[in-house]
Amino acid sequence: MENEKQHQPWTVTGRGTAGVTGPVEGSVRYASSSAAWQPTESKGFWVKPLFDDPQKGEKTMLMKVDPGAYSPLHTHPGEFEQIYVLEGSFYDRDMTLGLGDYCCRAPGTPHEAGSTSGAIVLLVYTKA
């Protein structure tokens, strides 16, 4: 698709990450409420990594979208993406998701992302 960008999902541009790194045995807890939002490669999009298991290709994070932030057409090659809206509203090229709405995307599905009024979403990525 023309003008389509391929990138790693919401790559953190700041130094270091937080959250839990897999594999996990038993229960592991992480106080994300006290963690700082980290900038991503897309202006106005911030993340708090919650879980990452590079071996299994699993990643879970919170994402905050500033009011008016927009990410142009892109894909997440090889990753199944799940989005659950916790606060505000979040849109792509096909629909606007509100509080409690859920969307999942097959690996490599082209989409845009943004929010008119701001949002917080839960993102889950799984390698295909």
Domain harbouring 70, CATH code:
2.60.120.10
In sequence order, what are the residues at sequence separation of 6 or more whose Cβ sits closer than 8 angstroms to the Cβ of residue 38? 12, 13, 14, 17, 18, 46, 47, 48, 49
> Looking at residue 90, what is its pLDDT?
96
Q: Is the pLDDT assigned to residue 1 strictly greater than 60?
A: no
Q: Is residue 52 assigned to a domain?
A: yes
pTM of the model: 0.84
Whether pLDDT at 17 is above 70: no
If pLDDT is split at 50, 70 and 90, which confidence band does 29 have? confident
Cα 92 from Cα 117, distance rounded (Å)? 14
In a domain, residue 64? The reply is yes
Rounded Cα–Cα distance for residues 9 and 123 (Å): 9
Question: Rounded mean pLDDT of 54-74?
Answer: 95
In the chain, the number of structural domains is 1
Mean pLDDT of the 45-55 span: 94
Closest to 127 in 3D by CA, of 54, 61, 75: 54
Mean of pLDDT over the chain = 88
Coil, strand, or helix at residue 33? helix
Residue 2 lies in a domain: no
Domain carrying residue 122? 45-128
- Count CB neighbours of 101 within 10 A: 14
